[in-house]
Structure 1
Amino acid sequence: MAAVIGALVPVIVKLSLLLLCLNINSSLIQARKWESWKDKYPFIKPSSSFSSSSPSNAWSSSGSNEAYDYDYIIVGGGTAGCPLAATLSQKFSVLLLERGGVPFDNANVTLMQNFHISLADTSPTSASQIFVSTDGVFNVRAKVLGGGTSINAGFYSRASESYIKKVGWDSKLVSESFPWIEKQIVHRPILAPWQKAVRDGLLEVGISPFNGFTYDHIYGTKSGGTIFDRFGRRKTAAELLTSGNPEKLHVLVHATVQKIEFDTSGKKPRAVAVVFEDEKGNQHKAFLSKTKGSEIIVSSGAIGSPQILLLSGIGPKAELEKLNISVVLDNKFVGKGMSDNPLNTIFVPTNRPVQQSLIQTVGITKMGVYIEASSGYGESEESIQCDHGIASAEIGQLSAIPPKQRTHEAIEAHKRNKKNVPREVFRGGFILEKIATPLSTGHLSLKSNKIDDSPSVTFNYFSHPRDLMQCVDGIRIVEKIVKSKHFTNFAQCDKETLDKLLNMSVQANINLIPKHTNDTESLEQFCKDTVITIWHYHGGCHVGKVVSPDYRVINVKRLRVIDGSTFTESPGTNPQATVMMMGRYIGVKILRERLGRAAGL
């Protein structure tokens, strides 16, 4: 019997690796868990089931041409779109159009252990869509109900009070809207060992005071909330839809909006309908009610929202005419002022594997940088054996290939080399430093008049000298943390081990602490060479330039934009809390404006 078992061990190991790469086990678990999601979300349907006939037959396939008009049509079922749709549906009919599928039966979305896989998935059913900025930095946009909350690292932290005041939001309503989100999908994390070590290191180097666990954005060191529960299962903004009225809420997935249509017979263009394509390639048109107050609301994110406006004829006239797009409104600011918070990471080796953790601890400094941490998914057998691609967090954070050199050939070479590197080089975790409010800005423009073609996006990382200066300051803070007593005790790597890892790391392209941190010029080059994204890009539909303070598109009737494309800076350390709150907040504001006290909100 012992001989039989011994012979089976290599087979079992190989089979285990194969299951890890294909996610078979987790997929089966999730399929069983979510087999009844359709009962919980009866209002979510495939876009091919749409009919413009009537409310009672809204999901039929009769093909009737009799129009059913919605009070609100929301383009994009993401971080802002889901809470917005749920709120508005409490009193009015709402059609929510999402180009991706549902997150509930996708193990790469729902399981924290698969976080990095989801970001690199290029299959047709992927929850993310890779795009590469002209800067050479690989990035992703969400393509799933729940938007960024379905593919991000889960950290939940509110915007600061000063940010709320700066954008002119009603602080009382904001303070009511955040808990509405938190009660439904946010958890207090159980701090992983890596997160505790970074917390202690932050405090040791003077990032104080210690603020404990809090959702609030305040200077010092803290732990924040997470949308992962204690079992590592993700909650998303899609789950906020259960707070809506199922009788008034219609959600279509795999509904790719092509454009918004307008009535241009008056002094100002008036939004009247949305044209979208279903998963079978058939086109549909959803009409807006003629009732006063009815609106189309674009919530497709910082990439999608300006793209939709441009494809619909709202944007710089010359750019639109080049692509034979009929100009509805000439606005030179659409797609302009794009920003991304540059991220630079340091890999810190340990003398043993460490538990996986995403962001739980953060240092909010007065130097304009945030310090965060993650661990555990770099050294796993799965990460080493499977090709997740350069866009995954694991590869992106390990790669020291400068942006302009991140060619497909370099990526393939990187993946091949990684498999030949001893796995000890992947043991450890990352300390991340993010520029809080970058002054470097760029722009977005259409490559074609097709929605499926990601637009050309330029962020101009570190083009402003202040951003580069802050990055240098951030790397020096990270160096202090790595050398702090608490952290060195945790890592337990002696000089001999570090030297060995340093030699191996040349092949693995690992970002270790630069040798000459006193040399500002060298650190500036390090910042430029190792810059990646933390997926907090924003802008393109700024308030005062594209939309008014109440997010109505300037000089257009019955059209708003509500999402991060309206931001001039990313709120808090991580924006998802504020973007979800924004969806709820604006939804309540709209209901109160239309119904007054009768809104009951």
Structure 2
Amino acid sequence: MAKGFWTFFGAFLVGILLIFNVSCYSERAPYYTFVKEATSAPAVTSYDYIVIGGGTAGCPLAATLSQNATVLVLERGGSPYGNPNITNIGNFVTSLLDTSPTSPSQPFTSKDGVFNHRARVLGGGSALNAGFFSFASADYVKEAGWNRRLVDESYEWVEKVVAFEPTVREWQSAVSDGLIEAGVLPDNGFTYEHLYGTKVGGTIFDKEGHRHTAADLLEYADPRRIVVYLGATVQKILFSYNPGRSRPEAYGVIYKDSNGGMHKAYLVKSSKSEIILSAGALGSPQLLMLSGIGPAHHLQAHGIEVVVDQPMVGQGMADNPMNVLFIPSPLPVEVSLVQVVGITRFGSYIEATSGLSFLHSWGHKPSEYYSELFLNQSDQPFTVPREATSMDSEAINFVTNTTIRGGVILEKIDGPLSSGHLELKNTDPDDNPSVTFNYFKEPEDLNKCVDGMNTIINVVNSEAFSKFRYRHIPTQALIDIIVNFPVNLRPRHVSAAISMEQFCVDTVMTIWHYHGGCQVGRVVDHEYKVLGVDALRVIDGSTFRGSPGTNPQATVMMLGRYMGSRILHDRFS
């Protein structure tokens, strides 16, 4: 049953998470001579900085630090280059369905019953995501206490390598016009800025459909001062208790290569040398706990020696809930990624994609229910058949290899206010920790979802969008499609009288924007230094209290560059 759910979910995400371009990535990817397999690493090495995680923040951070210091990057995954499941966008679903130990996408299911994925590849989530590139709001930057000038310079540094303006065609234009008609104003045109209203954002896919990831930012690195080891899984951070110091000091790490060989990396003996965790919202709090920093009672229960009793490690875990509608179209639609976003004043973001081909992994028997819904072109009203309310994953399928004319419009909650926690399941760093996000625990989040879904319905019913929807299919039928799909493992309420509140709760999904676990002011200070120890920072999305902007990847890359610049300035000031 679990395998069936994962098979369905991977295919469903192809429809939801917007990677539908069939172009192949050019094999012109940069060849970094300093990127090597960890199996080739010496038993012991020393560097000025050890960056744990070569992901969305880790790559720009390491590239920046290498300009004036020696840097070691330890990435547990492999390279995104030459992997057709990453570089060929048409193979997106293959990466999600690959559950092998070396897969670039590591699946997990939260305690809330929502399927999710965790990146395990150089470049992190930017090697797997839908590619939308948009800045954090001015208020977010101010609340974070970041220097505005350096933020702008850091965004520009990232943007030059990985960001592009998309070509907006008919279906996405109709969504944009529908948002404006629905009152999501003003029309801001193309911009990376986070502005209320409707806009076209950037993308990390170039005009030829090639994905550009955070790994591309390593082109800024000084190859003489940096080494990146792939397949390097850090087991723990090492701490010493030096005379004259009142608290523990990080001085090295132990990591394992893909053959099981163990290696040690130490910091160069200097007051400025540091270990920097950039392992993501799951990996960073997990590794802090495995290294002895976390709630004492929890660590002791797993037989871990306590270095610092820090009860806030793993707390504040949040995931921006996403809910969607499928909209079948009577006209052919372009294949598009997320290009348009409606930034509402009530705290919901509306995004869209089109040209879905999410059928391949759903099954081999055609479903009369869905075939009738999407292919029926009569003027008779369509209603969901009673038997559809008990469908399982085996019954949910279309004609294999058929492309559905239509698209998806989704809404994502800003923030969110609701949060949960992360705990260790065991002491194996290769395993996923246990995480609870508590979707819609706070009523305000649920209200935002309802308002967002109602906005989507207004867009679908707008005159601007009218040529891309069947008038004989009522909105309730579109809602029922999602209600009857096993999009997660949560209980279902399939009565005809289901409220929009219940729809949000039952059909919530992830948009992969989870964060928290090492939050600023709770686990790290405003310089991202871990409280209670020396020579250790955390720089990634685990430090966020809310997800920045509509989509966080631009800001996570920016943060890597921003803090790399700050650290070097302090080192040589």
- 1:180 partnered with 2:180: no
Q: Secondary structure, in 3 states, of the residue corresponding to 2:418?
A: coil
Could you say which residue in structure 1 is the equivalent of 2:8? none
Could you say which residue in structure 1 is the equivalent of 2:33? 42
The amino acid across from 1:376 in the alignment is G
Normalising to structure 2: TM-score of the pair? Answer: 0.86
Could you say which residue in structure 1 is the equivalent of 2:434? 456
The amino acid across from 1:298 in the alignment is L
- 1:198 partnered with 2:175: yes
Summarize the Cα distance change of 1:530–1:268 in structure 2 as closer, same or farther, 3 Å threshold. same
1:179 shift after superposition = 0.5
Could you say which residue in structure 2 is the equivalent of 1:581? 558
The amino acid across from 1:96 in the alignment is V
1:69 shift after superposition = 1.6
Distance 2:554 2:411 in 1: 20
Q: Secondary structure, in 3 states, of the residue corresponding to 1:417?
A: coil
Distance 1:227 1:438 in 2: 25
Summarize the Cα distance change of 1:503–1:50 in structure 2 as closer, same or farther, 3 Å threshold. closer
1:516 shift after superposition = 11
Q: Larger deviation: 417-426 or 199-208? A: 417-426
Summarize the Cα distance change of 1:312–1:503 in structure 2 as closer, same or farther, 3 Å threshold. closer
Distance 1:564 1:72 in 2: 20
The amino acid across from 2:35 in the alignment is I
Could you say which residue in structure 2 is the equivalent of 1:62? none
The amino acid across from 1:471 in the alignment is C
Summarize the Cα distance change of 1:464–1:349 in structure 2 as closer, same or farther, 3 Å threshold. same
Summarize the Cα distance change of 1:248–1:506 in structure 2 as closer, same or farther, 3 Å threshold. closer
Task: Trace 1:333-352 onto structure 2 (pairs within 5 A).
Answer: 333-352=312-331
1:228 shift after superposition = 0.6
On the 8 A contact 2:331/2:467 being kept in 1, the answer is no
Distance 1:418 1:379 in 2: 12
Distance 2:442 2:208 in 1: 42
The amino acid across from 1:47 in the alignment is A
The amino acid across from 1:327 in the alignment is V
On the 8 A contact 1:27/1:107 being kept in 2, the answer is no
- 1:232 partnered with 2:194: no
Summarize the Cα distance change of 1:236–1:377 in structure 2 as closer, same or farther, 3 Å threshold. same
The amino acid across from 1:261 in the alignment is L
- 1:159 partnered with 2:150: no
Distance 2:84 2:353 in 1: 20
The amino acid across from 1:44 in the alignment is V
Q: Secondary structure, in 3 states, of the residue corresponding to 1:96?
A: strand
- 1:359 partnered with 2:338: yes
On the 8 A contact 1:425/1:501 being kept in 2, the answer is no
The amino acid across from 1:256 in the alignment is T
Could you say which residue in structure 1 is the equivalent of 2:502? 525
Q: CA RMSD in A?
A: 2.9
Could you say which residue in structure 1 is the equivalent of 2:51? 74
Q: Secondary structure, in 3 states, of the residue corresponding to 1:486?
A: coil
Distance 1:504 1:584 in 2: 43
Distance 1:578 1:503 in 2: 36
On the 8 A contact 1:113/1:232 being kept in 2, the answer is no
Summarize the Cα distance change of 1:501–1:94 in structure 2 as closer, same or farther, 3 Å threshold. closer
The amino acid across from 1:275 in the alignment is I
Summarize the Cα distance change of 1:505–1:208 in structure 2 as closer, same or farther, 3 Å threshold. closer
Distance 2:538 2:281 in 1: 10
1:545 shift after superposition = 1.1
On the 8 A contact 1:417/1:507 being kept in 2, the answer is no
On the 8 A contact 1:421/1:508 being kept in 2, the answer is no
Could you say which residue in structure 2 is the equivalent of 1:64? none
1:503 shift after superposition = 9.3
Could you say which residue in structure 1 is the equivalent of 2:409? 431
Summarize the Cα distance change of 1:176–1:475 in structure 2 as closer, same or farther, 3 Å threshold. same
Distance 2:168 2:363 in 1: 28
Could you say which residue in structure 1 is the equivalent of 2:457? 479
1:292 shift after superposition = 1.7
Could you say which residue in structure 1 is the equivalent of 2:425? 447
Name whichever structure is richer in helix by fraction: 1
Could you say which residue in structure 2 is the equivalent of 1:305? 284
1:535 shift after superposition = 0.4
The amino acid across from 1:133 in the alignment is S
Distance 1:28 1:46 in 2: 29
Summarize the Cα distance change of 1:89–1:528 in structure 2 as closer, same or farther, 3 Å threshold. same
Task: Trace 1:497-536 onto structure 2 (pairs within 5 A).
Answer: 522-536=499-513
Q: Larger deviation: 423-432 or 317-326? A: 423-432
On the 8 A contact 2:23/2:90 being kept in 1, the answer is no
On the 8 A contact 1:197/1:486 being kept in 2, the answer is yes
Summarize the Cα distance change of 1:126–1:422 in structure 2 as closer, same or farther, 3 Å threshold. closer
Task: Trace 1:128-139 onto structure 2 (pairs within 5 A).
Answer: 128-139=105-116
Could you say which residue in structure 2 is the equivalent of 1:322? 301
Cα deviation, 1:399-448, whole Å, max 9, x if unaligned, reads: xxxxxxxxxxx9x9744223356988943111101110111110000000
Q: Secondary structure, in 3 states, of the residue corresponding to 1:179?
A: helix
Summarize the Cα distance change of 1:195–1:115 in structure 2 as closer, same or farther, 3 Å threshold. farther
The amino acid across from 1:467 in the alignment is D
Summarize the Cα distance change of 1:555–1:508 in structure 2 as closer, same or farther, 3 Å threshold. closer
1:502 shift after superposition = 9.0
On the 8 A contact 2:199/2:341 being kept in 1, the answer is yes
The amino acid across from 2:412 in the alignment is K
Distance 1:509 1:470 in 2: 23
Summarize the Cα distance change of 1:505–1:420 in structure 2 as closer, same or farther, 3 Å threshold. farther
Cα deviation, 1:32-77, whole Å, max 9, x if unaligned, reads: x53x75x72000000000014xxxxxxxxxxxxxx53200000000
1:496 shift after superposition = 6.5
Residue of 374, 382, 391 corresponding to 2:353: 374
| Structure 1: tracts of 5 or more residues without a match | 1-25, 53-66, 388-397, 399-409, 597-601
- 1:145 partnered with 2:138: no
Could you say which residue in structure 2 is the equivalent of 1:6? none
Task: Trace 1:111-122 onto structure 2 (pairs within 5 A).
Answer: 111-122=88-99
Summarize the Cα distance change of 1:501–1:316 in structure 2 as closer, same or farther, 3 Å threshold. closer
Residue of 295, 309, 324 corresponding to 2:274: 295
Summarize the Cα distance change of 1:348–1:324 in structure 2 as closer, same or farther, 3 Å threshold. same
- 1:207 partnered with 2:184: yes
Distance 1:477 1:503 in 2: 17
What's the % identity of the aligned pairs? 52
Summarize the Cα distance change of 1:506–1:259 in structure 2 as closer, same or farther, 3 Å threshold. closer
1:463 shift after superposition = 0.9
1:506 shift after superposition = 8.4
Normalising to structure 1: TM-score of the pair? Answer: 0.82
The amino acid across from 1:259 in the alignment is K
On the 8 A contact 1:421/1:504 being kept in 2, the answer is no
Distance 1:383 1:253 in 2: 30
1:81 shift after superposition = 0.2
The amino acid across from 2:453 in the alignment is I
On the 8 A contact 1:264/1:328 being kept in 2, the answer is no
Distance 1:594 1:523 in 2: 54
Cα deviation, 1:66-96, whole Å, max 9, x if unaligned, reads: x532000000000000000000001100000
The amino acid across from 1:527 in the alignment is C
